[in-house]
Amino acid sequence: MNFKTYRRSYKSKKKLWNPEEKQMVFENTHKAIISVDVWEKVQALRKNKRRPTRTGKTNLFSGVAYCADCGAKLYYCTSKSFETRQDHFVCSTSRLKGVETCSTHFIRAVVLEEMVLWHLQYVTSFVTAYEDIFRDKMNAKHTTDRKKQSALRRKHIAQAERRSAELSKLFKRMYEDNVSGKLNDIRFEELSNDYEAEQADLENKLEQWQVELTKQEQHADDVERFICKCRQYTDLIELTPAILNDLVNKVFAEAPDKSDGKRKQNIHISYDLVGILPELNNPIHEEMA
């Protein structure tokens, strides 16, 4: 990162901070200490706050487990008097706003760990044993999804670019009207603030959409990187925070189903680089009489 600061004059010793748009990033000028994958994963983990419980206990699924219905994080519940099998997760929306808003989605921590470990073993063994089949399935799925998403994203980008160009023209006309006296200063300031805010919002969205479009184009590389990760865990026996964070982005827990007299609860796993794998998303559920 260069040009973070500047001086108003060569005579001044005071440094001033440059706005972000004037700062420059020159990539790959030095040999990387860590890989891009590790860097991005660490940044994602740092953004995800994991507050310690009063008991001092922690759980590897804190910040990873989510409610499948409302999308909120699952809250880790524990106590000094709890045995390991009693620690559990509940929907944070339900905990804060009541079960009328969202059901508790209660799931025991040990059960969640067993279910996720089983699916990780299943996925890693399948991917490493049938790499070509996995590639074909992922490419077929992505081809259909990408066409729809890319077309929609390009449409949004084109619309935003047109609107941004229109705002620039409007601002010029408005400035000319203000100079000629057709538009008073108060109205000019109001309109200019509105247009500038809208244009800034459009620029932020354009940047975000361009990044998403670029990521969609990187699908083939992501699949290969995921396969390489799976090769590292062919003999997976125990689930650790490092393995979980390397392979998994999020785990979604559904509300338990008791319609047939037995308690069944499904989970869905969103894997790093490839997301949820519908072709390998066999029922992962806990059954209790």
Q: How far apart are CA 214 and CA 205, in angstroms?
A: 14
**Taken in order 45, 46, 47, 49, is the CA torsion positive or negative?**
positive
pLDDT at residue 142, as a whole number: 67
CA 53 to chain centroid, in Å, comes to 25
Long-range contacts: 21-30, Cβ < 8 Å, 24+? 25/1, 26/2
List pLDDT tens digits, range 44-72: 777 766 666 677 788 999 989 999 999 99
pLDDT at residue 108, as a whole number: 95
List pLDDT tens digits, range 7-28: 888 778 888 888 887 888 777 7
Q: How many CB atoms lie within 10 A of CB 41?
A: 16
Strand boundaries in 71-172, DSSP class E: 74-77, 88-91, 107-108
Q: How far apart are CA 76 and CA 61, in angstroms?
A: 8
Q: How many residues does the chain have?
A: 289
pLDDT at residue 194, as a whole number: 82
Query: In this structure, are strands 107-108 and 88-91 parallel, antiparallel, or unpaired?
Result: antiparallel
> What mean pLDDT is predicted for residues 35-51?
74
More confident residue, 229 or 179: 229
- Give backbone dihedrals phi and psi of 146, rounded to 5 degrees, phi first: -65, -40
Buried residues in 251-288 as b, exposed as e (16+ CB within 10 A): bbbbbbeeeeeeeebbbbbebbbbbebeebeeebebee
List pLDDT tens digits, range 226-262: 999 999 998 999 999 989 999 999 999 999 998 888 8
Q: How many CB atoms lie within 10 A of CB 123?
A: 23
- The mean of the pLDDT values for the chain is 84
Distances (CA, A) of 257 to 65, 270, 286: 19, 22, 10
Tokens of 202: 């459009």
Tokens of 109: 């921590």
236 by Cβ neighbours in 10 Å (0-12 / 13-18 / 19+) ranks as middle
CA 189 to chain centroid, in Å, comes to 38
pLDDT at residue 157, as a whole number: 81
Tokens of 60: 């590897």
Res. 119: pLDDT tops 70: yes
Whether the CB-CB separation of 60 and 48 falls below 8 Å is answered with no
Q: Whole-model pTM?
A: 0.66
Identify the top-confidence range among 25-34, 135-144, 245-254: 245-254
DSSP output for 260-285: TSSEEEEEEEEETTTEE-GGG----E
At residue 146 the predicted structure's pLDDT band, cuts being 50, 70 and 90, is low
Tokens of 226: 């995921």
> What mean pLDDT is predicted for residues 139-153?
71
Res. 268: pLDDT tops 60: yes
pLDDT at residue 240, as a whole number: 93
pLDDT at residue 279, as a whole number: 66
Res. 3: pLDDT tops 50: yes
At residue 144 the predicted structure's pLDDT band, cuts being 50, 70 and 90, is low
